[in-house]
Amino acid sequence: MENRANVWRKRCSGWQRNRVLLSGSVLFIATSSNASPARGGRRRIVDVAHQTIRLGIKVRILCFLPCEQVARGWAFLKNGKASLTNEAGVPVHYCPMLPLTRFQWIDRLNTWYCGIVTALFCRFYHANIAYGHGLSAARLALSARHQRKSLRVIADIHGAGAAEYAYQKQLQKDDQTLQRLEALEKQVITESDQIIFVSHRMYGYYKDKLNQEITNHTVLPCAINTFFTVDRHKRESLRQKYHLVDRLVVVYAGSAVAYQQVEEMCILFKEIQRLHSNAHFLILSHHRQKFESFINQHEINPSDVTILSVDHNQVFNLLQMGDVGLMLRDRSIVNQVASPTKFAEYLMCGLPVITTPYVGDYSQYVIDHNLGHIIDLDSLSVDSALEAFLQDVITNRAFYSKRCIDFVNHHLVWDQLGNQLGQVFSPLTARTTSSNIEEPSP
């Protein structure tokens, strides 16, 4: 199968005639090796790189590596860099950070050092925009602007950084690291030339937190590409292969980290199974052992569970075997401003989503457009409303599938959102018109 990078190269080499393009060059900044294809942050970088190329702008990626990633060795870094280069379709550079950045003075020195490196890269490769993926990366871009005054900075804020740190560490407000992160949030949002939020709720959160209007912002959710089309015959073939014919297949795709509510998913599945004895739990994850532990803990029959660890390019094919997808999150700020890619992935595969009221903009989408069902994490029993929903999905699966696919194709694919990214770049670049671009090949 032709990989996604090659598909994008063909698309971008034969774009529409007379399309208005943006001139210039962009350096993407990241604060991770992005070696793992499973990481949501990497998916965002790859997708935005593809869209930037589509707009006629040259792209490079500069990854600043924390010491713990450098310590994993040359083979890990070489393979990770090659994988990211191939998937993004652009040159990738790695550069180590300074060690011991948990100390404030070393953290400041590291910011200064990474800023100089970024400025030198921008000068050498004629990049006029530094695009920071995440708050920390945006800070390095702002530091580079101190060295190179003509540089413009875009901050793509993937999550509520300070709230996320506090959530993971269970910290109090007076924690010094937390205070530094909150100061960083204010600096990035105040000083960047353009801000990208992944949800409208994230914009509202920062607007209220900083008590100021943020006029130079755009909302770009974590969208997906339209490389996949549901194939009914393939779905039936796969369900036969995995012995899922006549089963109610409940799907989860993702990691087993705490905020994904793995234990709650197991509890909910067991409740569903109590009323639907033919229910089957399909899990697509590289965290097999963690899921097996939870499955055993909740005494779910292993024959009613399938755990598959596959590359991302196989996920869509397997997701279409399902009937409903799970995306459970708690009420923390981290989740309330989030934009999980898996929501769009589920919908693209025709799966309505069982979720909670706290998932960024998506929970309201589920309610407004009948894309699934909202449950309460504090009461995971199958009530009459959830039972009616599941029965409706079983009876009218084709209608749910079409509704979900139509919604994602209109609201959460890059073919629809790419022009919004162009509007972010537009004020920062000189516009040129190309009249000799070939028509796309059929």
Q: What is the mean pLDDT of residues 108-118?
A: 96
Position 159 scores a pLDDT of 83
| 425 and 57 Cβ atoms separated by less than 8 Å | yes
Mean pLDDT rounded to a whole number for the chain: 88
- Element spanning 130, H or E: strand 129-133
Listed in order, the ranges of the chain carrying CATH 3.40.50.2000 are 4-224+414-433, 232-411
Global pTM? 0.86
Q: What is the pLDDT of residues 13-25, one digit of tens each?
A: 444 333 444 557 9
Residue 438: pLDDT over 60: no
- Residue 167 is which amino acid? Y
The CA radius of gyration of the chain, in Å to the nearest whole number, is 22
Residue 2: pLDDT over 80: no
Position 39 scores a pLDDT of 64
Position 394 scores a pLDDT of 95
Position 92 scores a pLDDT of 96
Fold type of domain 232-411: Rossmann fold (3.40.50)
Residue 163: pLDDT over 80: no
Q: Alpha-carbon distance 435 to 17, whole Å?
A: 6
What is the number of other CB atoms lying within 10 angstroms of the CB of residue 201? 24
Position 206 scores a pLDDT of 93
Residue 177: pLDDT over 80: no
Position 440 scores a pLDDT of 34
Residue 31: pLDDT over 80: yes
Q: What is the pLDDT of residues 223-266, one digit of tens each?
A: 998 778 999 999 999 999 999 999 999 999 998 888 899 999 99
Q: Thinking of the domain 4-224+414-433, which architecture would CATH place it in? A: 3-Layer(aba) Sandwich (3.40)
Position 362 scores a pLDDT of 97
For the chain, the maximum distance between any two Cα atoms, rounded to a whole number of angstroms, is 65
Q: What is the pLDDT of residues 374-417, one digit of tens each?
A: 999 988 888 899 999 999 999 999 999 999 999 999 999 998 88
Task: Count how many residues are written for the chain.
Answer: 442
Position 34 scores a pLDDT of 84
Q: Alpha-carbon distance 69 to 244, whole Å?
A: 40
What is the number of other CB atoms lying within 10 angstroms of the CB of residue 437? 16
Position 391 scores a pLDDT of 96
**DSSP-derived 3-state class of residue 300:** coil
